[in-house]
Structure 1
Amino acid sequence: MGWNQEPDIVMEDWGQPQAWLNSINSKKKDELVQWVLGADIELNQINGQRIYGGPPPGWVGDVPPLGSEVFIGNLPQEIYEDTLIPLFQSVGKLYEFRLMMTFSGLNRGFAYARYSSKHFAEQAIVQLAGFEIKPGCKITVCRSTEKSEITLDGLPGFLEKDAIVKILEESTTGIHTVSLYASPTANSKNMAVVKYISHRTAALAKKRLCEGVQVICGYPFTVDWLQPSVRQKLQVATMAKPSFLPPKMTPAAEVAQEKLTPSAVQCLQLLCDNMKLGQPLYHIKFLTLGTHGWLRFRYWVQIPMRPVPFTGYCWLAGDKLIPTDKYQQAKEMVALQILKELGYIAD
């Protein structure tokens, strides 16, 4: 891939934020360390990127608007912040600077600079696009695409927008707007388009929501960046209105019959017995009780004769439940999800 186009950020967790100090290119890194100490600059390495600011020391006011960030490409791998930050600060006040890093301590050839205003971002493009950062190497500077919208597809029709917002607020931050439409991929399901205040908050939210298998109220959903085809439909207002299907109320006459229907936990147990896979072992850990009554929990289910356990995260509306009921409802949701993954229940 050429460096004249902006790549997607790969959010990696290397777990060793100081590994770059002990690897290759030590002379340049020593120079960076001396500059950091002398300039009293703080750099934080998180998820494969080294970050200055966001906000910088002494910042007063809101996060800069979309359009205030530029993408910087074609960087020599041995160039670091001691060269880049002063260069881009020469144009205007920086709110944040993010240099993408490899585990070995080289930069990945691209970075992002967010200014305090759109005006400074435009000036950076004018003044620094094609700048010769070292003999024979000219950098690319252009407007960042700043992806800030993700989609949650496959949501059940009885979840209204307010409920979705409350769920998202328990696990992500920086939500700007949430819009709800009919799913373009699944009948009677909905898709939420969630816009965040910045690309960074959107990327972190996407990473958080993609941890494990995601299930809401027993229904799996997918998380992705807003795709161009969907964006085009939004722009021309051709997305269908969302489906609103209230939870089915069981008539009194059907209650007795429903009690005879085996639960998802029982069905999974029968399936495992018939296939001689062993008894499923459930491990459920409740992580947080949200302010709106939504419980987030992680599950790990081991079926003895399967080498890989089933893992994921899920939400449960459980503020009124006693602990035993919370655990049983969580087990039921997890068993239902496993049966779907195994292909015994259609979505």
Structure 2
Amino acid sequence: MFFASDNAGPVHPQVMDRLNNANDGYAMPYGADPIMDEVREAIRNLFEAPEAAVYLVATGTAANSLALACYAPAYSTVFCTQVAHIHEDECNAPEFYSAGAKLTLVPGTDKMTPEALRKTIEGEEVRGVHGPQRGPVSITQVTERGSVYTLDELSALTAVAKDYKLPVHLDGARFANAMMALGCTPAEMTWKAGVDVVSFGGTKNGCMGVEAVVLFDPKKAWEFELRRKRGAHLFSKHRYLSAQMAGYLADDLWMKTAAMANRNCARLAEGLQAKGASFLHQPQANMIFATLPRSAHRRLHDAGATNYIWEGSLEGDDPDEHLAMRLVCDWSITPDDIDTFVSHI
């Protein structure tokens, strides 16, 4: 009953098999391995972007930060939500890799709105040389609260950015979960909606540790390569990144694992609702934020369940006080795990 994070799940056997196959003999380093050629072509085909520049790094923080650095000069600011991963969970890495660009938070709750984004953009670049200049807009899909932007919502946000000639970055750590929830294509959720660069996540969805950065403007390729090397994220034994991504893409595994994670989440949400849980955000992909009485949380904890208490504490005298929890499903969770968890409520 492990619902703490999709970072904690196992690597899919298909990915492990490809890694094992890659561990035979020799291959040129630094991304010159033949598997990377396969990966590059596969991702370009998936995104319907034959000219796109495709690179691999080992972490989502590196993917987001290096991608943003290519579009955010040191004197600029990146526009993101108050709960964006780049703001809450990356220890100022975007600022570090851009050599000083700041983040400007767009007010709101979970999702960014076009109105709030426009107002926030208008509030910058008004002090001449004394203030930050407008930089990229960064959108998280799936959001940090488990919501999914529709294609129309994405297009509305990118339209605002384009009104000010600003590039758009998509943090896609859970890209596959969002795409499967929407029933769209990778192209429809990125460049066709106005996105300039995307972090295409693998780690949370069955890989060991690999993320792809897809730049739809190939003119940014060399800059990204230099920033990746300077930032110490160019792997010498790169074939082990390539092999993971190749295994992840083969036979549409990345879509299958995301669909499994989303189905697991839907089953869990249904069980929670039947037990009287309230949702802080409507579950749309593979994350749930729900409240239950402290007594129920304690029963789950005592039964060996692992998840985060989001608001409140297990310590307290009132067994009926409602505490919020975060539950995340990955591809490997079984129906029995879910049903057992719900039964202890």
Give TM-score scaled by structure 1 length: 0.25
Give TM-score scaled by structure 2 length: 0.26
Please identify the structure whose Cα radius of gyration is greater. Answer: 1
Determine which structure has the larger helix proportion and give its number.
2
Greater RCO (CA < 8 Å, at least 6 residues apart): 2
